[in-house]
Amino acid sequence: MSDAIEYELKGDIAILRANNPPVNALGHAVRSGLIAGLERAESEAKAALIVGGGRTFFAGADIKEFGKPFKEPGLPSVCTRIERCSLPVISAIHGTALGGGLEVALGTHYRIAVSSAKVGLPEVLLGLLPGAGGTQRLPRLIAVERAIEIITTGRQVGAAEALELGIIDEIGEGDIEEIGVAYAQRILAEGKGPRPVGNMPRPTPVDFDAIHQAALTKGRGQIAQATAVRAVEHACNNDIDAGIKLERDMFMALLKSPQSQGMIHAFFNERAVSKLPELKGVEPRDVKAIGVIGGGTMGAGITVAALLAGLDVTMVERDSSAAQAGADRVSGFLQGSVKRGKLTADKYDAIMANGFRASDSYDALSNADLVIEAAFEEMGVKKTIFAKLDRVCKKGAVLASNTSYLDVNEIAASTSRPADVLGLHFFSPAHVMKLLEIVVAADTAPDVVATGFALGKIMRKIAVRSGVCDGFIGNRILKTYRTCADHMVLDGASPFEIDTAMTAFGFAMGPFEVADLAGLDIGWATRKRLAPTRDARERVATYADKMCEAGHFGQKTGQGYYIYEKGKRGGTPDANVTALIEAERRELGITPRAFSQDEIQRRYMCAMVNEAAKVVDEGFARRPLDVDMVLLFGYGFPRHWGGPLKWADLQGLDGILVDIQSYAKEDDFFWQPAQLLERLVAAGKTFDDLNKGDTV
C-alpha cells in the first residue's frame, strides 16, 4: 500500500488516513492508496472511514499533475469505486474539502465535518470544472440551483451551511478521526448500509439556457463557469455513469484551454512571487507598531489594512485638524468593514481605543518599528519628511515611502540611514487592493527587504519585488499601454471603443474609465513633469490637457471622458471629448481610420508585453511572473490570461514580435521591439521558460 494513504483497522472500522502534506492533494499515490485501502477494507472491515491526516481533508486534485500524462487510476474512477464499495464509506472532514476533495466526499456514503471545516468546488477558479463527478453528484444531493451557484462561484461553503444544504450529514466537535470513528460505529449500530449519491434521482431541470447565458455574460470572456452549467444540465438527462463521462470530456477540453493554463499560472505564481531566493535565511525585523505619514485616502487605506492585520498604527498629519480628518477617514473605512460583516463591532471598538491614534507630532513615531510615508507626490515634500523621520525614529526602524514613481534612491539619500529605506507602494484603496510593490533601492539592506515582504504577508498582500525606475513595474508598463491607447485615439479610435474592446478582453474597466476613476489630474501632472525631458519624436495627445484645463477631472468632478450623473452607476460618453479629439486630429492633419475590436486589443496588449519585456530585461522585475502578478493584482488584468507575459506565451511570441515590427513601420520611436522578446523568439523559448530559471 502507498504511504500516501495510511491504513489502520480499528475494530470493525478501516481507517484510510491521507498523508500527503501540506494539503493532501489527490496525486497518483493518494489515488492508488485509496483504491488499495478500500479493497483491503472490503476483506476485513464492516465500514471504511476516509479522513485527512495533518491540517486538512483533501484540498483537491494535485494541480502539479495537470498537463502531464494522466496515470490510472484517475480521480473519477476512484470516486466511483468508493461509491460502489460494498461497505458503508464515511468521510470525516476538517480543514478544506475542495475540488476533487469534495468529490471524494460525495463519492462516500455519509459525511461528517467539524464546524470549522469548509467545502467547495473551486475548479472554475482554475479555468476548469469539477471533473470527478462533482457536477453530477452535487445536484443529486442538493437543490440544483444551489449546486450551480456553488460550482460556478467556486466559493467555500462553511460547515453550518453545508449541513443546512445537505452536503454533509452531521457536524461534530473534537478530534476529526475520533469523530469519524464514532460516527461510523453509529452507522453500523443503526444497521445502515451504503447510500450512493449516484443512485439518487436525477435533478429536476431548470432554465439552463438562461443560466448558461448569464454565466457567459458574467464571465467576461471566461468559459469555465458557463461550461460547468452545461455539465450540471447533463446530470438531469443522464444516469451517473453517462453523466460522469460527459463531464470528463468537458473537463479535459477545459484543461487544454489557454484559460485554464492562465489561471493555473496565476494560482502557483501568486504564491511563488513573494518567495525570493535572495531572502532565504534572511530574518525580517520585528514589526508590531507602525507609523503612517498622511491621512488622505491612501494613508487612511494603509492604516486600515494594517489595523485589520492586527498592527498598532500611529498616523501623523501636519496639524491637528488634518489629523482629525485622517482619523475620521480611518474610522469611516472601518465602520464600512463592520457594515459588511468583515469586522465585529467589539473589534472595531478595541482597535479605535487601543490600536490606533492620530497625531500632529512626529515625536509620536519614536517607538515605531516601521513608518510608511503616504504624503503628497513631490520630491521636496518627501525629503523633508524623511529628514524628520531620520531625526525621530529609533535605530533600526524601517523607513518606507509609498511613492508611486519618485526615485527611492534620492529619498533614501536624504536620510543618514539609506540601508533602512525602501519603497512600499500600495494601490488605492489600500485596504482593498491586493498588490504591494516592494521597491528595493541601491542601499536597502536585505533584512529591510525581508521586512517589507513579511509586512506584505501579515497584511495579506501579494508582495512583488521591484527595482527603482520611473513608475516601478506597474505604473511604468501602464504608462506605455496608456500611450498606445492615446495613439489609437489620435488615429481614429474613440476612447469608448477602446474601453469596450478592453472590457471584452476581460478587464473589469477600460483604461479611460480607470482614468476617470483615478482622476485625470494625475496624468496631467505626469505629462507636465515629463514634458521638459520628452523626446521630440514622441507622439503626445494633448486633448486630455484641454479637458483638465476645463475642469474635467473625472468622476470626482462629474465629468471626464464620461459624464457621471448623481445616483446613476457608470457614465455616458461625453460628446465634448469627441469634439476635442476631432479638433486635435484636424490640427495634426490626421485622417481618422477605423479600428476593429481585435486590432485595439492586439495593439494594446503588444504595447503592454513589449514594455513588460523591457522591464524584465533591465532587471527592474526579476522574472516575468513578477510582472504578471503586478498586472493581475494591481491593474485588473483578467486572471484567466494569467498576466500579460503568460498571455503572450499563449498567443505565441513570434506573432507578437511580427506585429510589433509592423507597428514600428508607422512609429519606430514608440514601437521599439524589446530585445528580450527578440532573443526569446530567436531561441524558440517563452517567458515561462525564464520563470523556470532558463536564460536567453
Positions touching ligand 3H9 (CB under 6 A) are 22-23, 25, 59-64, 75, 96, 98-100, 103, 122-123, 126, 128, 130-132, 134, 268, 271
| Identity of the residue, 22 or 567, whose beta carbon is nearer to ligand 3H9 in the bound complex | 22
Beta bridge partners of 48: 14, 89
Q: Are 41 and 30 in contact (CB under 8 A)?
A: no
| Identity of the residue, 130 or 291, whose beta carbon is nearer to ligand 3H9 in the bound complex | 130
Q: Per residue in 287-310, is it b (16+ CB within 10 Å) or e — as a string?
A: bebbbbbbbbebbbbbbbbbbbbe
* Residue owning grid cell 476529526: 176
| Identity of the residue, 168 or 412, whose beta carbon is nearer to ligand 3H9 in the bound complex | 168
Q: How far is the CB of 263 from ligand 3H9 (least distance, A)?
A: 10
- The residues, any chain, with a CB within 8 Å of residue 276's CB and separated by 6 or more, are 449, 453, 465, 622
Q: Would you call 314 helix, strand, or coil by DSSP?
A: strand
Q: Would you call 119 helix, strand, or coil by DSSP?
A: strand
190 is catalytic: no
Q: How far is the CB of 94 from ligand 3H9 (least distance, A)?
A: 12
Written as nine digits, the cell of 148 is 450551480
Distance from CA of residue 659 to its chain's centroid? Answer: 30
Q: Where are the alpha helices (DSSP H) in 519-574?
A: 520-530, 543-549
Q: How far is the CB of 640 from ligand 3H9 (least distance, A)?
A: 15
Q: How far is the CB of 458 from ligand 3H9 (least distance, A)?
A: 14
Q: Strands 89-93 and 47-52, how do they pair? A: parallel
| Identity of the residue, 61 or 215, whose beta carbon is nearer to ligand 3H9 in the bound complex | 61
Written as nine digits, the cell of 511 is 483604461
Distance from CA of residue 136 to its chain's centroid? Answer: 29
Query: Which backbone phi and psi does 265 adopt, to 5 degrees?
Result: -60, -45
Which entry of 123, 247, 270, 437 is annotated as an active-site residue? 123
| Identity of the residue, 48 or 273, whose beta carbon is nearer to ligand 3H9 in the bound complex | 273
| Identity of the residue, 50 or 676, whose beta carbon is nearer to ligand 3H9 in the bound complex | 50
278 is catalytic: no
Q: Are 97 and 119 in contact (CB under 8 A)?
A: yes
Q: How far is the CB of 619 from ligand 3H9 (least distance, A)?
A: 25
Measured CA to CA, the distance from residue 543 to residue 546 in angstroms comes to: 5
Instruction: Lay out the sheet containing 157-158: strands in order across.
Output: 96-98, 118-120, 157-158
**Which has the closest alpha carbon to 146: 70, 62, 204?**
204
The count of other CB atoms within 10 Å of the CB of residue 312 is: 19
Q: How far is the CB of 56 from ligand 3H9 (least distance, A)?
A: 6
**Which has the closest alpha carbon to 648: 608, 589, 593, 692?**
608
**Which has the closest alpha carbon to 245: 143, 131, 149, 331?**
131
| Identity of the residue, 233 or 373, whose beta carbon is nearer to ligand 3H9 in the bound complex | 233
**Which has the closest alpha carbon to 10: 54, 56, 43, 41?**
41
DSSP 228-249: HHHHHHHHHHS-HHHHHHHHHH
* Residue owning grid cell 446530470: 235
Written as nine digits, the cell of 565 is 450623473
Q: How far is the CB of 147 from ligand 3H9 (least distance, A)?
A: 14
Written as nine digits, the cell of 632 is 493581475
∠ CA(653), CA(654), CA(659), 5° rounding? 95
| Identity of the residue, 124 or 411, whose beta carbon is nearer to ligand 3H9 in the bound complex | 124
Half-sphere exposure of residue 121: CA atoms within 13 angstroms, side-chain side: 32
Written as nine digits, the cell of 420 is 533602512
Q: How far is the CB of 104 from ligand 3H9 (least distance, A)?
A: 10
Measured CA to CA, the distance from residue 452 to residue 448 in angstroms comes to: 6
Which entry of 103, 497, 513, 611 is annotated as an active-site residue? 103
The count of other CB atoms within 10 Å of the CB of residue 369 is: 20
Name the E strands within 232-387: 289-293, 312-316, 356-359, 370-373
| Identity of the residue, 64 or 586, whose beta carbon is nearer to ligand 3H9 in the bound complex | 64
Q: How far is the CB of 216 from ligand 3H9 (least distance, A)?
A: 21
Q: How far is the CB of 437 from ligand 3H9 (least distance, A)?
A: 21
| Identity of the residue, 95 or 523, whose beta carbon is nearer to ligand 3H9 in the bound complex | 95
Q: How far is the CB of 154 from ligand 3H9 (least distance, A)?
A: 8
Q: How far is the CB of 678 from ligand 3H9 (least distance, A)?
A: 33
Q: Are 43 and 9 in contact (CB under 8 A)?
A: no
* Residue owning grid cell 485596504: 431
| Identity of the residue, 253 or 338, whose beta carbon is nearer to ligand 3H9 in the bound complex | 253
Give the largest Cα separation in the chain, rounded.
90
| Identity of the residue, 256 or 569, whose beta carbon is nearer to ligand 3H9 in the bound complex | 256
Which active-site residues does the annotation give?
103, 123
